[in-house]
Each structure stands twice: as C-alpha cells, then as structure tokens.
Amino acid sequence: MNKILLSVTKTAIALVLLPVMAFAQPQPAAQPDHMTPELLWSLHRVSGGGVSKDGRYAYYATKTTDWKTEKSVTHQYRVNVEDGTKKEWTTEAGKTITQRYDKMWFATYDNFLYQSVDSGLTWKEIYNKLQDAENVWVSPDGQYVAYSKDVLVKPMLGTDLYSDLPNTTAKVYTDLDYRHWDTWEDGKFSHIFLANIKDGTTKDLMEDEPYDCPQKPFGGGEDLVWSPDNKGFVYVCKKKFGKEYAQSTNTDLYYYDIETGKTDNWTEGMVGYDMAPAFNKDGKKIAWLSMGRDGYEADKNDIVVMDVASMKKVNLTAKWDGTVNGFIWSNSNEKIYFTAPFEGTEQLFDVAVPGMKSESENVTVNNITKGKYDVTGILGEAGGEIIVSRCDMNHSAEIYAVKPKYGDMRQLSHENDATYQHLKMSKTELRQMTTTDGATLHTWIIYPPDFDPTKKYPTLLYCQGGPQSALSQFYSVRWNFQLMAAQGYIIVAPNRRGMPGWGVKWNEEISKDWGGLPIQDYLTAIDEFSKEPFVDKGRLGCVGASYGGYSVYMLAGVHNNRFKTFIAHDGLFDLRSWYGTTEELWFANWDIGGPFWKDPAPLSYDRYNPINFVNKWNTPIMIIQGGLDYRVPIEQGLEAFQAAKLHGLNAKLLYLPNENHWVLHQQNGIAWQREFFKWLDETLK
C-alpha cells in the first residue's frame, strides 16, 4: 500500500548539427493513463505515525519499493497540520523512531537505544543491550525499556535435542500448533523483557512460559502499553499451549507492576479476544477491543473501558449494531474515536466515555464521516481536527484532517498525486439487489475508465475472503479493483452474508453455512447485474482468494454455465483434508462446525464441500497456491488442479513456493497479476 512515484525522466540530448538531415529525437516514455501492475507496485505506501503533543504536526512514513530489485526505502515525514507544509524527518544512521512523548523521543538502531530531547534533531545513546530485541517500548519517564525477544523454552528441533547432530533437520512434536501461518514451531517463544536503563539489570517476565507476546503471527507494538504513571504496563498474551492454544481465541490483558514484580490478569473471565489496550491521557482509565465468545475470531468487536482504581468495566458499544476496527482516546479523555465497517465502507465514529456507573448507561455512538472511502486508521487530534489515513478504490492511503462536527476532510499528504493526476479513474457505485430469501444485497460495481454504456464488457464476479472481512473501499496491491477495471473489465463485488458493516446478524449468517445463502448471494449479484445491456453475458468470469477461493470452487460446481472462466487463489477445496492440516482450529470449529468425525458430522463436509461437486466442473479454471500457506495448505490447490486436469478441463496452476496466504514479494506480485490477466485474456475471448 505504499508507493514509488513513477516520474518521467527527461534525458538531456546533445544537439548535433548534421549537414544533410535532422534525426528525430527520442521522446521520454509517456506516463500511463491506466493502472498497470508495475505502476501499482511502485506507489508510495503511506502509514500514519501519530500527532505531536502540541497538535501542530502529523507524522507519517512512506515505503517505496523498486520492483526490479525488490529493495525498499522508508522515509519519515512530518506535515504541518495548519498549512500543509511537509518536512522529511531524517534520523542519524537510519534510526527508527519508536516513541514520541511530550519532551522525549526514543529511537533504535542495531542494538542501541537513543534518546532525543529536541524533537529528533539530535540523539544520545542511552542503552546498548538490545541484541535480537524487537518491539521496543520505553517508559514515559525514560527509566525503563521493555522489549520482546525469542527464548528457547521447549526444544523441538533436532539440533536443540541432540547437540551431537548439528546437521540434522529433524523436528519433533508432541502437541498441536506445530506450525502457524507460514512458520514451523521451533520451541522458541516471544517473551517480554524489562531492563532498567540506568543500572542495566534485565528480567524475563515470562521465564519458562511457552507463551508469546506479541501475539503471533500478526501482533506487534500494539500488544504492550505503558501506564502514564510509569509504574507498570499492560501486555496482551494468550497463555495457552498446544491443542488448547490451537482451539482458543482467549487472549487476556496482563498488568505488570514494576515495584512489586507482580502480574495480574485484568480480563480474567472474559473468554474471547481482548487486544489493543490503550490508557487515556491521565492513566485513570484503560480501553481495549474485546470479543465475547471463545473460538469465534470474527465475533463482534467492542470497546471496553475500565476504571483502573475500581476495576469497574463498561462495554461502550455493546448495544451498537456494529464491530470496531481500531480506536484512540480523545485528548480530553471524554470520548473515544474509532473506525468500523459501515455499509460497504469503513468510517470514523466517536462514543462518549461515561461515568463508569453501569452497563446500562445510555451510550450513543456518533457517525462522523459518511463518504465513499475507507478511514483506515486514526493518528490523533490536532487543532480541533482528527488526523486519519484514508483510501478508496481509486487511491492508495494518504493522511487527512477531519472536522469532527461535520466530517469534512482535507488532504494533508500528497505522496501519489503526481501519479494519479495522469490516471483515468474508475466509477464506483453501490447497488441494491434482492436475494433469494428476500433480503437486500448491496453490491459494489467498478467500471473501466472511459466506460461506454453502448459497448459490451467482460465482467468479473469478485468473491471476498475472510470469510467475515469487510468488502469496502479498500485499496490493495494485489486484489486491486482499479487495476482490474483498467484492463477493461467490469467488477461485481457483492457484500454477501458474512460481511461486517451491515449489522451483526448479517455478519454472522455465514458461519456453518459457507455454501448456502452466501453462494446464492453471489449468484444473485451476477444474475441481476447481467441484465444490464453493456454486460457481455458470454464473457463472465469469477475470481477470489481464501474463502473467496472456496467460493470459486463451489460456484464451479453449481453455476449452471453462467461463467466462462474461474480463478481461485489459496481456496479451500476439500474441507476434510483442510481440517486435518490447517493450524487455527478455532476457526474451523466455529465456521465449519467441528471435525468431520463428529457424530453426526457437520453438514458442511457433505453439503458445502467443493470436492463433492467436481463431477459438475465444466469450465476453465486457474489455481494459485502458496507453498508456505499453512492456513490453507498446499494440498488444497494441488488437489483442485489435479481434479480439474483429470476431469479434462483447461486448467493452469500458478505455484508460489515462497509465499504464504498472501503474496508479499514484489516480483511474485507482478508475476501473479500478469498470469491473472493472461488467463482472463485467454479464456474470456
């Protein structure tokens, strides 16, 4: 989601006077007016970095990647919120700024921790024992530093079990969670260490515990937060191991008291995900994101606030029909700003923090923004405005300032303006359709640039993954609607059952019904939109990844000749073999209904299992599979490809041995897109 500006380089050409004829001078390559894979991967990817204490500046970083070398460069900037002027924020020797307090900033480089008391102009080394440290957190007073570091707790590798076998590649496991996302378990766990910066003493707070903080595979700096009074910190951890870990989502918030050395569980009895803790400005209250049910990773995400002195908790969003993405405290401590999916977008909201009387207090959620875009993050407050990051289907993320009363926005960063000013944009619209059971289905339609309603266009049904992730105005470097439309396709992207932003009931209706109403929603969307005269019904395609790949496999067996081609990326093909090889079993237990050997067996393994419909496959299909994908392991893609070929179909396998459930390497990403559009060109003629 970051970006390199593709600028046209003007080459100086020496003018040579020739006696007989003049030769035409070579012209610089023209800036493309439609999005291309190479241009997409070269965009500046903007990420927010917070707001200065005085509210004058917003900080952000841009990451640019040369896709030819796959080397990236990160630049840090501050932008004046009042006048929009930008300054590049450089640090000596490539230091990475980790924290900005009122009077002290901290940065790391290699094994060293640095401090600045002049807003990053000069730096002083204050600690030099961060060997192999990650996620460095310094206390507000600068006396302590907490950091995470991998520690060998349970030997599982042959080289750790047998010192006389240095060349063995053996791995020995006696419990589950032996691999996760894209990594095999090696017996090491990410522990929290606390160091006194002055005397250098260090302590492993999780000694001998087979638990991780931050949470793997996606946890980071948000998994630990210092109390403003410097007396301790709260960290996130799921203190479970093996089979118990693989079947539970119960993370808790633990408070470590520096003076007593005691750790307390502040969310004991709260059995779902509890994550992203944040103290308010005076440290008297703490808020976090909380899910109510163990094993349900897509449960309604609420904001819970606790009074630290009384330990009284209030769920601020319990009665609100939505699910929260992320939040920050207001500077006044009286409100919390948060983002959430909302009717095919992600918007900015606020909620007042009450007096902590009871759960029944009248708490009102206020919808601040309502545009056709996604608010993807909140940086802070500045000058009476809220600083956020924002994107839409035609634009990668940039930094904006929002007026909280009316939701008006103004753009602060302009990292990709020079690229986008040359591009023809796609029109997007949200259409309403009636489903087979009489519900209202909202479907995004993305049109090619220069769309002409008198012509006929090939059309792609896009199947979202998740399965309970929002289909919003997101901007991706792989599943990018702007790029697809720029190749001349209309995109139909339904907010089928399971999508957040349309109420909790709609969000939950996909669980244990993967191949039921959600698949009917897809067919409703393509059938209704195909009534338009500009849709070429002889050139319909269907594409998707993860649950979207599962949807492709299911639709290939039930589409009744609607589609002319399919593309499935890391899709679930056989739910039985998938249950036996996937790692986060809480997901399979909740959404599928448990193991296939239950008596009676869950209906999903029979009624909604794509492998059971292969005998009806009759359409060309391209299958993409990552070799390091342990969420939807390699046998899923290989089984599907082999079944298609043995069934006599035109099929292609794109195998990416060094990719997980996503495509992270730039050249793999471009190869993915080239093969994607090549297949569509070949099969939607």
Return left, alpha or beta for 140; rule: phi > 0 is left, psi -120 to 50 is alpha, else beta: alpha
- The larger pLDDT score, comparing residue 672 to residue 118, is at 672
Please tell me the predicted confidence (pLDDT) of residue 7: 31
As a whole number, mean pLDDT of residues 279-305 equals 97
Question: Which H/E stretch holds residue 520?
Answer: helix 517-529
Q: How many Å apart are CA 272 and CA 146, to the nearest integer?
A: 26
Q: Select from 593, 584, 572, 684 the least CA-distant residue to 635.
A: 572
Q: Report the SS3 class of residue 550.
A: helix
Q: Select from 666, 674, 544, 667 the least CA-distant residue to 610.
A: 544
Please tell me the predicted confidence (pLDDT) of residue 103: 85
Please tell me the predicted confidence (pLDDT) of residue 3: 34
As a whole number, mean pLDDT of residues 136-145 equals 97
pLDDT digits (tens, 9 = 90+) for 159-178: 999 999 999 999 999 999 99
Return left, alpha or beta for 275; rule: phi > 0 is left, psi -120 to 50 is alpha, else beta: beta
Tokens of 150: 């991998």
Torsion of CA 57, 386, 395, 44, to 10 degrees: 30
Q: How many Å apart are CA 576 and CA 572, to the nearest integer?
A: 10
pLDDT digits (tens, 9 = 90+) for 234-275: 999 999 999 999 999 999 999 999 999 999 999 999 999 999
Tell me which of 248, 265, 282 is where a domain ends.
265
Tell me which of 228, 247, 265 is where a domain ends.
265
Q: Report the SS3 class of residue 194.
A: strand
Residue 599 burial by Cβ neighbours in a 10 Å radius (0-12, 13-18, 19+): exposed
Please tell me the predicted confidence (pLDDT) of residue 128: 95
CA distances 293 to 272, 409, 438, 580, 586, Å, are 5, 37, 30, 24, 11
Question: Which residue carries 């589609």 as its tokens?
Answer: 563
For the chain, the first-to-last Cα distance in angstroms comes to 32
Please tell me the predicted confidence (pLDDT) of residue 120: 86
DSSP for residue 426: P
Banded model confidence at residue 92, pLDDT cuts 50, 70, 90: low
Q: What angle do CA 446, 450, 455 make, to 5 degrees?
A: 85
Q: Report the SS3 class of residue 3.
A: coil
The answer to whether position 19 is within a domain reads: no
pLDDT digits (tens, 9 = 90+) for 366-423: 999 999 999 999 999 998 999 999 999 999 999 999 999 999 999 999 999 999 999 9
Q: Is the pLDDT of residue 19 over 70?
A: no
Among positive and negative, which fits the CA dihedral 156, 157, 158, 162?
negative
- List the catalytic residues: 546, 629, 661
- The larger pLDDT score, comparing residue 8 to residue 459, is at 459
Tokens of 108: 């790391």
The percentage of residues in the chain with a pLDDT greater than 70, rounded to a whole number, is: 94
Q: How many Å apart are CA 524 and CA 529, to the nearest integer?
A: 8
Strand spans (E) along 117-241 = 124-127, 134-138, 144-152, 179-180, 183-184, 188-196, 202-204, 224-226, 232-237
Please tell me the predicted confidence (pLDDT) of residue 361: 59
Please tell me the predicted confidence (pLDDT) of residue 89: 76
Q: How many domains does the chain have?
A: 2
Q: Report the SS3 class of residue 144.
A: strand
Please tell me the predicted confidence (pLDDT) of residue 6: 30
CA distances 434 to 61, 210, 494, 521, 542, Å, are 43, 51, 12, 9, 20
Please tell me the predicted confidence (pLDDT) of residue 29: 53
pLDDT digits (tens, 9 = 90+) for 438-452: 999 999 999 999 999
Tell me which of 219, 242, 265 is where a domain ends.
265
The answer to whether position 642 is within a domain reads: yes
Please tell me the predicted confidence (pLDDT) of residue 22: 35
Q: Which domain holds residue 511?
A: 424-683
pLDDT digits (tens, 9 = 90+) for 125-138: 999 999 999 999 99
As a whole number, mean pLDDT of residues 16-32 equals 44
Q: What is the pTM for the complete model shown?
A: 0.93
The answer to whether position 414 is within a domain reads: no
The answer to whether position 77 is within a domain reads: no
CATH number, domain of 567, equals 3.40.50.1820
pLDDT digits (tens, 9 = 90+) for 576-626: 999 999 999 999 999 999 999 999 999 999 999 999 999 999 999 999 999
The answer to whether position 85 is within a domain reads: no
Q: How many Å apart are CA 327 and CA 502, to the nearest integer?
A: 20
Banded model confidence at residue 359, pLDDT cuts 50, 70, 90: low
Q: Which residues contact 424 (CB under 8 A, 6 or more apart)?
A: 33, 34, 449, 450, 486
Tokens of 465: 């993954």
Please tell me the predicted confidence (pLDDT) of residue 93: 64
Asked if residues 483 and 476 have their Cβ atoms less than 8 Å apart, the reply is no
Q: Is the pLDDT of residue 641 over 80?
A: yes
Q: How many CB atoms lie within 10 A of CB 417?
A: 12
Buried/exposed code over 368-396 (b: 16+ C-beta within 10 A; e: otherwise): bbeeebbbbbbbbbbeebbbbbbbbbbbb
Tokens of 407: 């939701």
Q: Is the pLDDT of residue 505 over 80?
A: yes
Asked if residues 322 and 448 have their Cβ atoms less than 8 Å apart, the reply is no
Q: Is the pLDDT of residue 637 over 50?
A: yes
Asked if residues 617 and 561 have their Cβ atoms less than 8 Å apart, the reply is no
How confident is the prediction for the chain on average, in pLDDT?
93
Banded model confidence at residue 363, pLDDT cuts 50, 70, 90: confident
Banded model confidence at residue 65, pLDDT cuts 50, 70, 90: confident
The answer to whether position 542 is within a domain reads: yes
Please tell me the predicted confidence (pLDDT) of residue 227: 98
As a whole number, mean pLDDT of residues 431-460 equals 98
Strand spans (E) along 43-89 = 45-51, 57-66, 71-80, 86-89
Please tell me the predicted confidence (pLDDT) of residue 113: 96
The answer to whether position 193 is within a domain reads: yes
Please tell me the predicted confidence (pLDDT) of residue 328: 98
Q: Select from 528, 532, 525 the least CA-distant residue to 455.
A: 532
Q: Which residues contact 304 (CB under 8 A, 6 or more apart)?
A: 270, 274, 287, 288, 289, 290, 313, 314, 315, 316
Q: Is the pLDDT of residue 30 over 90?
A: no
Residue 217: asked if its preceding bond is cis (omega within 30°), the reply is yes
The percentage of residues in the chain with a pLDDT greater than 90, rounded to a whole number, is: 88
Q: Is the pLDDT of residue 26 over 50?
A: no
Residue 27 burial by Cβ neighbours in a 10 Å radius (0-12, 13-18, 19+): exposed
Q: How many Å apart are CA 459 and CA 243, to the nearest integer?
A: 45
Banded model confidence at residue 554, pLDDT cuts 50, 70, 90: very high
Tokens of 339: 């983002």
Sequence letter at residue 180: H
